[in-house]
Amino acid sequence: MRRWRFVTCGVLFLLLGADDGESAAEVLERLQARYAAIRDFRADFVQTSWVASLGREDVTRGSVVVERPGRMLWKYAEPDPLVIVLDGDALRIYNPAERQLQIAPVASGAISPTALSFLLGDGVLSKFFGARRIRESNRAEIGLKLIPLEDSGFEYLELWLDPASYQLRESVLVDLFGNRTRVRFSAVAENKGVEEEVFSIRVPEDTEVIDLR
């Protein structure tokens, strides 16, 4: 399982209201307020990942559904189908090509504590991250760089937001090995409600189940 696929999920809760004259601290404060107001949302995504050790770039596409607190579905459609569900204290990863379902306990360290708080919406962002504004030439989107204040599985996280609606358009995560994962979001729908069955994984009877709980 490519761990980088899941680490990036944490940025999906982030939507911001801010103007370009605000400091990073003010943006982060507004970000926290906006973040807390999201009950659920859906989005399509394109993920571009630079694998430093291989000198290779991979592109994957799919959709995501989030219901706070603590429930997420990531469905990778191409080129390698994969389903990732976080529901309560368990992480389920289904690989249809290999007919294998892995179940891991979140509490045992499947995700780092900082990332876990970030994903589930239980943490205060300013407690875990230092922040600064970032800009790129010829890019109108609002940029914010989050740097973990304690040891973490990644170096930093960039968020790029629409300047008119302040909706999250793109995230960039750089890990400790120099790998870079860029996720571009589209067709975002907020607070529309989520059906219970969305977070259920139905697998064929001959699926191999690896339960690490």
Total number of domains constituting the chain: 1
Q: What is the mean pLDDT of residues 34-47?
A: 85
| DSSP H helices in 8-102 | 24-37
pTM: 0.78
Over residues 48-96, the pLDDT tens digits come to 999 888 888 999 999 999 888 778 899 999 778 999 998 877 889 999 9
Domain with 8 in it: 3-211
Closest CA to 31 of 95, 101, 121, 154: 121
189: domain CATH number is 2.50.20.10
Over residues 164-183, the pLDDT tens digits come to 777 788 888 898 898 999 99
Q: What is the pLDDT of residue 120?
A: 53
